[in-house]
Amino acid sequence: MRSRKNSFTYELRKNRSMFFMLAPGVVFFLIFCYIPMAGVYMAFTRYNVVGGMFKSPFVGLENFRFLYLSGRLWIITKNTVLYNLVFIVVGMITQITAAIFISELPGRLFRKTTQSLMFLPYFVSYVLIGTFVYQIFNFEFGTFNNMLKAVGLQPIDAYSNTGMWKYVIVFFYIWKGIGYGMVVYLAAIMGIDNGYYEAAEIDGADVFKQIRHITLPMLKPTFIILFLFAIGGILKGQFDLFYQIVGNNGLLFNATDIIDTFVFRSLMGTNDYGQAAAAGLYQSFFGFVLIMLVNFIVKKINDEYALF
């Protein structure tokens, strides 16, 4: 006979407050993530108003065809993945660096002010950033070209050449996200036991040695978890960033087109919800495969750091 102690109802009763606290999260994901998944079915239908989501005619994989027919699937997938990789790597390095700097700053007021100032760009919308960029790089009256002309250099025709856009886009992404992303690392640094640093100081370690041998290793678990989370979204592009900065400028697409902007442009032309759903599913599917793969690798290397 099963002992009372181990039964499920006992578990439920014993940890009822735990389950109660878990409930909102479960309900949230249920409503906003699991139930809408039924909509994936749309990717396989030709959507119309009469049939709605579930009764429109079934067309199989037809909706996926437009992705490769234009011959751009490879470029946009590559762009999406590479941009996101750079965002993740450069973003994490700058965020960790900034967090360490902030934590080492003397004076509470100065530290808080610096942190707030770095946080501010997070609230600037990408629409505004798009306008900034246009005003800076406009050929005829842009700030940048006026500066070049003032010192006797040739103005550059930025909007016709793909060269510099990778850097511009990455720069603005990092600039916007640094204050926000740094908070998590800052919290992790604050959580490190002060005893380690005191002991190190007694042993004669300077600030750089302390960072190298205490702060960075202690940040590693946070870093890996955040990295894994970010990897899952590697096929999801920053639509507003790219769309606001580049817009519909076809000359730049080879360097700046990502899945999201591609899909947006296609669907503004045809208004086909089935194709939009198909593109979304393509992104999610490969995002899923990627996160499973990376998690698997992490697990092989060090079991403790894996997400699941």
| 51/217 with CB nearer another protein | 51
Sign of CA dihedral 285, 290, 291, 293: positive
Smallest distance from another protein to CB 307, Å: 17
Smallest distance from another protein to CB 87, Å: 23
| 58/110 with CB nearer another protein | 58
Q: Nearest-CA neighbor of 142 among 126, 155, 154?
A: 155
Smallest distance from another protein to CB 113, Å: 36
Smallest distance from another protein to CB 250, Å: 4
| 15/302 with CB nearer another protein | 15
Q: Which residue ranges make up the site for another protein (CB under 8 A)?
A: 2, 6-8, 11-12, 19, 26, 30, 34-35, 38, 46-55, 62-63, 65-66, 69-72, 134, 137-140, 157, 159-160, 246-251, 253, 257, 262, 265-273, 275
Amino acid at 209: K
Smallest distance from another protein to CB 247, Å: 5
| 91/274 with CB nearer another protein | 274
| 83/185 with CB nearer another protein | 83
